[in-house]
Structure 1
Amino acid sequence: MAISFEKAFGMHPEALLVRDKRAQVLAENIANADTPGYKARDLDFQQALNNARARQSGAMARTHDQHFAISTSLQHETKFRNPDQPDTGDGNSVDIHRERNAFMQNSLEYQASMTFLNSRIMGLKKAITGGGQ
């Protein structure tokens, strides 16, 4: 009987990829908090996850080198964020407190998915090798 990793892991592998990309975007915002003219960006997690799942379910194998590769980039889900604070005069729209909070929340959710996946992997390992070890 074959193990279906898609059924075993659910959406968590895709969620990890999206959370990783969001962490990168938020880190860029934090790093550019003092850069004049920098516009804060964010990733629409739900849209990105839906698109990642659609790409995975509709993924097609390339059977020839000259066929077009299907893009797996999350570039389209990254949007500029509407600022919560008035312009400080330098055109920068980063609210450092909001960015740090979003980064921390994203980190916690990433860890939750990692914990779930680790639990599932350990369960599958136990099922394969036997539960007595």
Structure 2
Amino acid sequence: MGLFDSSSFYALENGLKGALLEQKAIAQNVANSDTPNYKAKRAQFQHVLEEVTEKQRLEAYRTHPKHIAFGPMKKGPYISEDRSTMYHHNGNNVDMDKEMSNLAKNQIYYNALTDRLSSKFQSLKSAVRGG
């Protein structure tokens, strides 16, 4: 067991990876806000964070290997595309107000995670120095 193997470090790491993925999706949306037929993208990573905090998982009992398994999904973070709306006449559905709002929300989320991670490292630093 390593020094950084705790579930809180793992959750913070996954949260930062998710914030990075969301930042990339927002940047693509802003860059393509005038591109015809471009569809807005969103990062999907909350399910990964929920898996870290979840203690017990429901698993189905399969009596035959060909039966379909169900239970918690093991899918990692991914970017999805919203094809359900169209805001502009050229088929583009990027709403710049929404993107700027998502950008601010993601920045606050990222700052909160980095502050928490920084305090974890400060605690370790204090423990090593004997303070």
Same fold (TM over 0.5): yes
Q: Work out the percentage of aligned pairs sharing the same amino acid.
A: 29
Backbone CA RMSD of aligned residues: 2.6
Distance 1:4 1:120 in 2: 10
Contact 2:14 2:48 in 1 (8 A): no
Q: Which 4+ residue blocks in structure 1 deviate beyond 6 angstroms?
A: none
Count, aligned residues: 109
Distance 2:48 2:99 in 1: 19
1:15 aligned onto 2:15: yes
Matched with 1:124 is 124
Gap runs ≥5 in structure 1 = 54-71
Following superposition of structure 1 onto structure 2, how do residues 1-40 of structure 1 map, counting pairs within 5 Å?
A: 3-7=3-7, 9-40=9-40
Deviation at 1:43, TM superposition (A): 1.2
Contact 1:38 1:93 in 2 (8 A): yes
- Structure (1/2) with the larger helix percentage: 1
Matched with 1:95 is 95
Distance 1:37 1:4 in 2: 45
Distance 2:26 2:97 in 1: 11
Gap runs ≥5 in structure 2 = 53-74
Contact 2:33 2:92 in 1 (8 A): yes
Matched with 1:80 is 81
TM-score (norm: length of structure 2): 0.71
Distance 1:73 1:87 in 2: 30
Determine which structure has greater relative contact order: mean sequence separation of CA pairs < 8 Å that are 6+ residues apart, divided by chain length. 1
Deviation at 1:9, TM superposition (A): 2.4
Contact 1:18 1:45 in 2 (8 A): yes
